[in-house]
Structure 1
Amino acid sequence: MTTPTARVLAHLDDIRPWLEGLYRHLHAHPELSMAEHATAQRVVDEVRSLTGGEELEVLTGIGGPSVCAVVRNGEGPTVLLRADTDGLPVEEATGLDYASQVRATTTTGESVPVMHACGHDTHVATLLATLRLLLLERAAWSGTLVLVFQPAEEQFNGAESMVADGLTERLPRPDVALGQHVLTGAAGSVMVSPGPIMASCDDFRIVLHGMGAHGSSPHRGIDPVVMAASLVMRLQTVVSRQVSPQATAVVTVGRIQAGTKTNIIPDHAVLEGTVRTYDDEVAARCLQIIERTVRAEAEAWGAPEPQFETFDHLPVTDNTPEATARVRAALAVELGEDQVRDFEPEMGSEDFSELPNAWGAPYCYWGFGAFDAELWARSEAAGTEGQDFPSNHSPRFAPVLQPTLDTGVRAMVAAAMAWVGQG
């Protein structure tokens, strides 16, 4: 007996050339966060070409260059499906014949290369393919689909901006939200687990004020560069000596900016960093310790009062157990139990959960593998995956075309059909 999911996916062979061509186009034309205008227009054009513009509602511009599509197909659950759309300021080094040659100007006026180094092009392509397949077999499912093509995940404010711009009033409330991300792993496999799988994020900015002087006369000033170097080393003890060993936390200073010339001691230094945890109390404690340490460092140098602020908060991605169990079962049926692996919790952060959290809806977020399965198995056996394969955000990140794209489509279709499938 043919299942409803199988009926929907029976058309995958037919649309594969379109899917692969769409992916290549998206990969070659990435856009920076909150500048995904051409990507959004391509999504709108694809959606309207599938429906003639009459069978579903298309909303654009919620909180930025976003696209939302609402498909109502009878009685049944409402399921939100999400893809993020932005690229990164990375110069591509994959050697692909469809590699990005794009450069763009940032909001600060800097010209930078742009690449889909995190695989968001696969997310857009596979979600559009999911919509196309579901529209071809409307008799196989019943309910409402809400597709969200969200900007600025890499900038941490895409989902937040959509929520602030009235997302929950303009879209139907979902009974469940589903999302996926291409990751380092064997193509054809998926990774899914209940509970916390990705950390919260709290970014911070520190301004240390010193007193400028000539580089040959450091005693006449207060050197914020040396102060910053000392502070960075002190912050390495926040987790190692001031947070319980049973807690999971990371404190990283990722940016230091100071000075204009070799022989000038500047009058200030700026440091920016991030705190990642799975526990709001641990995050709050880390930030409290960091601020205290910053003020103590400045006082030890006899420096003016420093500035400390936080920005870009992201919540823990905490998969709802019941929804995740249903998704995992559907993925196992579609892909095979041997292709469904546990999602090992990581300290990276994601803003997907801000969408279902705005409604208080359950959700499940999973990963799918990007690299040749045979080569991955060899590296996994040798324990050399980290050296053999580039990670997300690498200039060499290049998912194999297949079965990566097919797997992303099959996974999203199967997961959605676990709620709206007939029979």
Structure 2
Amino acid sequence: MTHTVTAGLATIKDDLAAFYRDLHQHPELSLQETRTAGLLAGRLRDAGCDEVVEGVGGTGVVGVVRNGDGPVVMVRADIDALPVEERTGLPYASGVRGVDAQGRDVPVMHACGHDMHATCLIGAATLLAGAREQWSGTLLVVFQPAEELVRGARDMVEDGLFERFPKPAIVLGQHVGPLPAGFVGYGSGPVMAASDSLDVTLHGRGAHGSRPEASVDPVLMAAHVVTRLQGIVAREVPAAETAVVTVGRLQAGTKENIIPATAELGINIRTYTPEVRTQVRAAVERVVRAESQASAAVGEPTFQWLPSAPALVSDPDATATTVEAFAAHFGRDRLMPMPQVNASEDVGVFGEALGVPTVFWFWGGLDAQTVIGALQEGRLDALPSNHSPHFAPLVEPTLSTGVEALVVAALTWLGAPA
């Protein structure tokens, strides 16, 4: 049955490739995906969706294909781009600039493959809507904004996604990455880490750089915080667990001979279990408060916790069933078991909100021989990965593989034809 549906890909493949290149050339930052959303909505209407709604959770788009009695299956893709200057040299490379949430002029690039995700989902929705005789049930097609801010999924849920549209029995999603093009990677259980971020402000007392005794130096305070935070994972998290604490931003002062009054840190945490997540979050606050007190800070540190994503758990039973369907369609030689990925994804918010399983997999976008050669030579760091200015998936076979994977997974969970 899956090959019957995916056979239609040959007639739309060139059009999808052109659509992908257009999305790649016109990326939009998180919460600004208005052009992208409009194009996706138009494509869903052209595909024959029974209902298409824009503006869900900001710039999200939802399509519904109703096809009689049967399960409701949700397929999701993210659509936002990153403030990265593209250096791929492709003829359809982005030259777009935008204004970020802080009002800064920044370059914009689809450096994480969300343009490929969106195009593959359009292809899958088109094929499934055009082959209703092959399945029964309801297909819920979700294009999610602001994944890079780990808030888009929650925004859609809070905007009534599952009250306004049919409630799915399962959530399906995928991510392109630096694997060999044409291959599908999979994991079971926690496959991607939870992500928690916070902004911290340390409060000192400013003074002339020549009179440090008149100050409470927040720069020195921040330096001690940065160093001490590294002891959380090294000395508090059990060796059998995985966690990462990163200080990605440290800002203070305006001039070399002025001791400022405040210092700011941007901190990111990655964990896989709720217990370790709670432990590390509490430890970060404890360390910051203790170092502030030790430095005689003039006020308590300020904490602003930002939107977060839970660990992405690919339900073991549902994943096993889906992977068997992939094996039957692609052949086992095109499947690759994957280790846990410390990056994060907020697609898990959807399944968590309803208490239904999520199945999430990866598929390759780089030249297969290049990847295999890098593996054999132990130089994986030479491969362009997601968020790199050099990352851009091969159009084919990446596009076809991504479309087929979504079709196969959806048909695995939709009902049999009436």
| C-alpha separation in 2, matches of 1:22 and 1:291 | 46
Mapping of residues 134-149 of structure 1, within 5 Å: 134-149=128-143
Please state whether the residue corresponding to 2:27 is helix, strand or coil.
coil
1:46 and 2:43 aligned: yes
Q: Deviations over 1:301-354 (max 9, x none)?
A: 111222234222211111111211111011111111011111210111110011
| Post-superposition CA distance 1:267-294 (Å, at most 9, x none) | 0001011111111111111122221111
The reply to whether residue 60 of structure 1 matches residue 54 of structure 2 is: yes
Does residue 21 (structure 1) correspond to residue 15 (structure 2)? The answer is no
Matched residue of 1:184: which SS? strand
Matched residue type, 1:163: V
CA distance in 2, matches of 1:375, 1:282: 37
Number of matched pairs: 416
1:312 aligns with 2:307: yes
Question: What's 2:183 paired with?
Answer: 189
Give the match's secondary structure for 2:386.
Answer: coil
Task: Find the aligned partners of 1:81 and 1:364 in 2 and give their Cα distance.
Answer: 10
The offset of 1:421, in angstroms, is: 5.8
Name which of 81, 94, 114 aligns with 1:100.
Answer: 94
Partner of 1:208: 202
Partner SS, residue 227 of structure 2: helix
Structure 2 unpaired stretches of 5+: none
Residues 105-146 of structure 1: CA deviation (Å, up to 9, x unaligned): 122221111000000000000000001111222211111100
- Provide the rounded CA distance (Å) in 1 between the counterparts of 2:64 and 2:40: 14
Provide the rounded CA distance (Å) in 1 between the counterparts of 2:22 and 2:387: 19
- Give the alignment's TM-score, normalised by structure 2: 0.97
Residue equivalent to 2:248: 254
Secondary structure in 2 matching 1:61 = strand
Counterpart position of 2:29: 32
Q: Is the 8 A contact 1:168 1:358 kept in 2?
A: no
Quote the residue 1:336 is aligned against.
331
RMSD: 1.2
Name which of structure 1's ranges 394-403 and 378-387 shifts more when overlaid on structure 2.
378-387
What amino acid is aligned across from residue 228 of structure 1 in structure 2? A
Q: List 4+ stretches of structure 1 deviating above 3 A.
A: none
Q: Partner of 1:351 in structure 2?
A: 346
Sequence identity of aligned pairs in percent?
A: 48
Q: Whole-Å Cα distance in 2 between the matches of residues 194 and 109 of structure 1?
A: 40
1:368 alignment counterpart: 363
From 405, 413, 417, give the equivalent of 1:411: 405
- Corresponding residue for residue 269 of structure 1: 263
Question: Over residues 132-181 of structure 1, what are the superposed CA-to-partner deviations in whole Å (9 max), with x where a residue is unaligned?
Answer: 11122221111110000000000111001111111110111111110000
**Residue 133 of structure 1 corresponds to which residue in structure 2?**
127
Opposite residue 61 of structure 1, the aligned amino acid is G
3-state DSSP of counterpart to 1:314: coil
Distance in 1 between residues matched to 2:113 and 2:350, nearest whole Å: 20
Shift of 1:265: 0.8
